Amino acid sequence: MNIISLQSYLIISALLFSFGLFAIITRKNAISVLLGFELIMNAAGLNFAAFSHFSDSVIHGQVFTIFIIALAAAESAVILALIISVYQKMDTVQIDEIDSLKG
Amino acid sequence: MPSDPPIKSEDRPDRGIGGQARSGDRGMTGLVIGINPLISWIRRNIMELKEVIFIMIALTTVVSGWLVVSLKNIIHSAFALLVTFFGVGGLFVYVGADFLAATQILIYIGGVMILVLFAIMLSEGVYNISLFHRARVLPALLVLGALPYILFRVIMEASWHVRSGAGGEEVMGGNTTQTIGGLLLGEYLLPFEVISVLLLSALVGSVVLIRKEVGKRRGKAA
């Protein structure tokens, strides 16, 4: 069996996705949560590129990977701006301490 | 390939080894004789060399992805994420997506990583110990155990539609940059424009988010 196959790509991106989800669930620091989010976006882009290579004769999947990269860059810029803004207001980026909306 | 010339030049000295080895450079010849079978083995199995590199890139990606979520120092995990980005770029090369690999390096490593590092420096200290939610360990372990298991089962058992001749020796020919440019300005023109509007709004939004605080602070001081 060929090692460079669709299945190995899918397994790699499944692992990256699981790690990203694990980081989002367990981490306290908001920036660590963002790092897990970036892992998930990378896994999605990798899946698109792999499918476009292994099961499509035109490279439509790569265009979607570019859209994903652009989305991830824009979102991370906004999220980091939010994090810094929250830090200036509340002096913390631990997401369990940001609870001023709690009753 | 840098290992090509040594082989060719050594094929002939191999024959005249009796004359040369006595003349002094015995250690050199022995070294070359030791390396020669290795190189010829690699050349015979050139496909396997490619696969070995693929496995190394994949392992680097997965291991550094795990380091991102497990390291305590957040700046270490940011650098592990950088290695993961490099690995994903290498994996892009293996599916014939050269433009994507370059974009990955430029955008993620040149842009996103710098932003993340700046945010780490501008916000809380680098060394904060209480990183993990204690109460969330059980669902997290469930995610880390059950989700990859289910995904592996699906991936291995589903019959994926694979284009004939894909993978392996055939690398997608042609210029992907040209094709992607044509697709972006042809078939995907509307998503392209929407993405550009989104990028503009993200730019304006992040500037507004940061700038408001600075204005207030200056107002307080005055």
Q: Quote the pLDDT of residue B23.
A: 47
pLDDT at position B165:
59
Cβ–Cβ of A15/B62 closer than 8 Å? yes
**Residue A86 CB partners (closer than 8 Å, separation 6+):** A30, A92, A93, A98
Q: Nearest residue on chain A to B200, judged by CA atoms?
A: A74
Residue of A nearest to B128 (CA): A29
CB B83 within 8 A of CB A37: no
A5 vs B115: CB contact, 8 Å cut-off? no
A99–chain B nearest CA distance, Å? 15
Q: Would you call A4 helix, strand, or coil by DSSP?
A: coil
Tell me the β-bridge partners of A29. A94
Q: Which of residues 36-65 of A touch B (CB under 8 A)?
A: 36, 38-39, 42, 45-46, 49-50, 52-60, 62-63, 65
Which of A52-61, A82-91, B65-74 shows the lowest per-residue confidence on average (mean pLDDT)?
A52-61
Domains and CATH numbers, chain A: 6-92 (1.10.287.3510)
Which tens digits make up the pLDDT trace of B19-60?
444 444 556 666 666 777 777 766 666 667 788 889 999 999
User: Pick from B84, B197, B200: which is nearest to A78 by CA?
Assistant: B200
Average pLDDT of the residues of chain A: 87
Evaluate whether A30 touches A93 at the Cβ level (below 8 Å): yes
Query: What are residue A94's DSSP bridge partners?
Result: A29
Is residue A101 pLDDT above 80, yes or no? Answer: no
Residue B161: closest CA among A51, A4, A61: A51
Q: Are A59 and A52 in contact (CB under 8 A)?
A: yes
- Per the structure block, which two tokens stand in for B164? 């004939």
DSSP letter (8 states) at residue B173: P
B114 against A55, higher pLDDT: B114
Decide if A77 and B206 are in contact by the 8 Å CB cutoff: yes
Transcribe A49-86 into DSSP letters.
HHHHHHH-SS-HHHHHHHHHHHHHHHHHHHHHHHHHHH
Residues making up chain B, counted from first to last: 222
Q: Is B122's CB within 8 Å of A84's CB?
A: yes
At residue B67, the pLDDT reads 92
pLDDT at res. B122: 83
- Pull the structure tokens for residue A100: 């001023």
Chain A residue nearest residue B58, CA to CA? A12
Residue-level pLDDT at B219 = 53
- What pLDDT is stored for residue B48 in this prediction? 73
pLDDT at B158: 85
For residue B220, the model assigns a pLDDT of 52
Q: What is the mean pLDDT of chain B?
A: 77
Q: Is residue B14 within 8 Å of B33, Cβ to Cβ?
A: yes
Q: Which segments in chain B show pLDDT lower than 70?
A: 1-33, 41-47, 125-135, 164-174, 212-222
Q: Predicted ipTM?
A: 0.90
Q: What is the pLDDT of residues A24-42, one digit of tens each?
A: 888 888 888 899 999 999 9
